[in-house]
């Protein structure tokens, strides 16, 4: 990964996309690590998250490289992920890299078929509005801000284009079921250029 990002400094792409099977930001580390109980049905799911304490060191190396790249090149970096039964958009930040622009965009066309409306609402509440990513003692944590969350079947489209003024426009369209059961699809557009 480090070698690949190093090569991007010489590239002419104005935005860097990184595909990660599981998102950098999802359920907070307290939940992930509390439910890591041997032989429980969800143990593998919990351990298969960047927020699991076993992955903090590796995740911090990845984020450190990404944030340094974004800070130095003034180019945004966007993680694209899925497979978590939620659609979402987050901004990730760190006080050591104030000019870095790093985002996590998630979409997931499937949701847990067996969980009811109440449980789905609980799942949504476990994704906080803002907070710190889990990290080792003594580290300055990475921070996240939730921009949007869709807890039903959804899919996302990222639209990148150059404006007439030569600026780069990055918009994330997240389409999701309304939950009314009538087949209606709602669209939420997140304009990443408008995120402070």
For residue 182, being part of any structural domain is answered with no
Q: What pLDDT, in 10s, does the model give residues 177-194?
A: 877 777 788 999 999 999
Angstrom distance (rounded) from CA 136 to CA 60 = 10
What's the confidence (pLDDT) of residue 168? Answer: 94
For residue 28, being part of any structural domain is answered with yes
162-167-169 Cα angle (round to 5): 60
What is the rounded average pLDDT of the residues 69-76?
Answer: 97
For residue 10, being part of any structural domain is answered with yes
Q: Residue 50's domain spans which residues? A: 2-151
What is the rounded average pLDDT of the residues 15-22?
Answer: 91
Average of per-residue pLDDT values in the chain: 82
- Number of domains present in the structure of the chain: 1
Query: What confidence tier does 156 reach under pLDDT thresholds 50, 70, 90?
Result: very high
What's the confidence (pLDDT) of residue 42? Answer: 47
Query: What confidence tier does 43 reach under pLDDT thresholds 50, 70, 90?
Result: very low
For residue 6, being part of any structural domain is answered with yes
Lowest mean pLDDT among 69-83, 85-99, 103-117: 103-117
For residue 160, being part of any structural domain is answered with no
User: For residue 177, what are the contacts with CB-CB under 8 A and spacing of at least 6?
Assistant: 152, 153, 154, 183, 184, 185, 186
pLDDT at residue 29 is higher than 80: no
Percent of the chain predicted with pLDDT > 90:
48
pLDDT at residue 35 is higher than 80: no
Angstrom distance (rounded) from CA 100 to CA 77 = 8
For residue 113, being part of any structural domain is answered with yes
For residue 195, being part of any structural domain is answered with no
Angstrom distance (rounded) from CA 96 to CA 196 = 17
Query: What confidence tier does 27 reach under pLDDT thresholds 50, 70, 90?
Result: low
Please tell me which residue, 73 or 86, carries the higher pLDDT value: 73
Of the candidates 28, 32, 25, the residue with the CA atom closest to the CA atom of residue 88: 25
Structure tokens at 40: 């429980």
For residue 193, being part of any structural domain is answered with no
End-to-end CA distance of the chain: 28
pLDDT at residue 160 is higher than 90: yes
């Amino acid at each position: 990964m480090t070698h690949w990002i190093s090569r991007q400094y010489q590239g002419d792409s104005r935005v860097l996309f990184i595909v990660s099977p599981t998102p950098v930001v999802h359920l907070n580390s307290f939940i992930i690590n509390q439910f890591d109980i041997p032989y429980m049905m969800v143990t593998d799911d919990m351990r298969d998250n960047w927020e699991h304490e076993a992955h903090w060191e590796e995740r911090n190396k990845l984020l450190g490289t990404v944030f340094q790249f974004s800070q130095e090149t003034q180019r945004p970096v966007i993680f694209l992920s899925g497979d978590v039964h939620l659609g979402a958009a987050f901004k990730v930040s760190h006080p050591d890299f104030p000019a870095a622009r790093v985002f996590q965009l998630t979409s997931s066309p499937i949701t847990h078929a067996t969980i009811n409306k109440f449980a789905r609402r609980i799942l949504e509440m476990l994704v906080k509005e803002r907070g710190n990513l889990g990290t080792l003692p003594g580290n300055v944590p990475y921070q996240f801000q939730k921009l949007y969350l869709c807890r039903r079947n959804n899919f996302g489209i990222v639209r990148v284009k150059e404006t007439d003024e030569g600026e780069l426009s990055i918009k994330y369209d997240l389409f999701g079921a309304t939950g009314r059961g009538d087949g209606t699809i709602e669209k939420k557009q997140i304009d990443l250029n408008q995120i402070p």
